[in-house]
Every structure is written in structure tokens, then in C-alpha cells.
């Protein structure tokens, strides 16, 4: 299973891009692939945030809420 990037790292990628670094330079500085940098920049350009707002959690929905458990 692939680890997801922290939101902090995603914002650092955006800040580096705003400062004028190329995607290749950002990838080397942050130890991620160029494809990852491209994806983060594309999502930020499209939605204005670093996480895609339409990606939901995967898996089964919870049957009980915290109020049901009380």
C-alpha cells in the first residue's frame, strides 16, 4: 500500500512552485517523484486546495456513530 503525502508536504510543494522552482527541482528537494509534484500542482490549480475534495474514504461505511455507542 502506498503512503499518502501529508498535507504539509503538499503545501511545501505549492510554495516551492510559487517561488519559481521547476517541477524537477521540487521533486529532488522533497524526495518525491515528478509525477507526484505534477499531480499536487494540478489539483491546486484546479481546486485551490492541496487535496482533491471529491476523493472519499474507501471501505465500508460505519454502522454506528459515536452517539449510538453511548
pLDDT at res. 2: 60
Global confidence as pTM: 0.73
- Using CA atoms, how far residue 16 sits from 43, 59, 69, in Å, is 15, 34, 45
Comparing 60 with 38, which gets the higher pLDDT?
A: 38
Mean pLDDT of 42-48: 91
Top-level class of domain 1-52: mainly alpha
Per-domain boundaries in the chain: 1-52
pLDDT in tens, 16-37: 999 999 999 999 999 999 999 9
How far apart CA 36 and CA 49 sit, in angstroms, is: 15
Q: Is the pLDDT of residue 1 over 50?
A: no
Q: Which of 36, 53, 45 is nearest to 18 (CA)?
A: 45
Amino acid at each position: 500500500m502506498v503512503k499518502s503525502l501529508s498535507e504539509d508536504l503538499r503545501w511545501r510543494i505549492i510554495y516551492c512552485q510559487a517561488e519559481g522552482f521547476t517541477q524537477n527541482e521540487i521533486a529532488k528537494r522533497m524526495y518525491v517523484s515528478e509525477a507526484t509534484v505534477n499531480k499536487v500542482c494540478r489539483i491546486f490549480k484546479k481546486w485551490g486546495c492541496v487535496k482533491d475534495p471529491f476523493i472519499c474514504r474507501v471501505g465500508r461505511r460505519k454502522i454506528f456513530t459515536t452517539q449510538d455507542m453511548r
